[in-house]
Amino acid sequence: MAPSYARTRRSAGWGWYSAPMDMTSRAATLFNGDTYAQNLGARFVSDTDGVIVIELTVTDAHCNVHGTLHGAVSYGLADIAFAIASNVAGPQAVAIDVHMVYSGSATAGDTITARCTELRRGRSLATYRSDITAGDRLIGAFTGTVLIKQDT
């Protein structure tokens, strides 16, 4: 059975869209179905006011040869949050462009957090930003655009 949708305005975004009535459980369901997220060790924290929050405790396995967080791990966490944020509205959305800027690092034992917000959503394209933080330090900024697949 298809989810029940309501017309609503996402407070963090700029556009109207059809959204499942219970977005938190939809976001959690999407996260729980993401095998990569589970294997990475990511944890779903929340979907509050349109902000998807995912976190990860950095281990030695997440670090590079320099003993700091590998860029692929912070990118992966940002991408997980982006995938959930862009698909929680219902219609399937697929990435068509992403960009990551690294501005800091983390080490084993740190908890890193991805917070993804919708910047703009139209009928066929939507843009999101995932900020990656270690405590109160911004260590990465990810932007991504998705193609919203139209029902056929």
Categorize the per-residue pLDDT at 16 as very low, low, confident or very high, splitting at 50, 70 and 90. very low
Q: Does domain 19-148 match CATH 2.60.40.10? A: no
Which helix (H) or strand (E) element contains residue 80? helix 71-87
Categorize the per-residue pLDDT at 24 as very low, low, confident or very high, splitting at 50, 70 and 90. low
49: left (phi over 0), alpha (psi -120 to 50) or beta: left
* pLDDT tens per residue, range 47-73: 998 899 999 999 999 999 999 999 999
DSSP string, 21-53: S-HHHHHHHHHHT-HHHHHHT-EEEEEETTEEE
Beta strand pairing call for 5-9 and 16-20: antiparallel
What the block records as the tokens of 123 is: 């009928």
Q: Work out the percent of the chain whose per-residue pLDDT is above 70.
A: 84
Query: How far is it, in rounded angstroms, from Cα 140 to Cα 44?
Result: 19
Residue 25 has pLDDT above 90, yes or no: no
What does the mean pLDDT of the chain come to?
A: 87
Helix (H, G, I), strand (E, B) or coil at 149: coil
The ranges assigned to domains in the chain are: 19-148
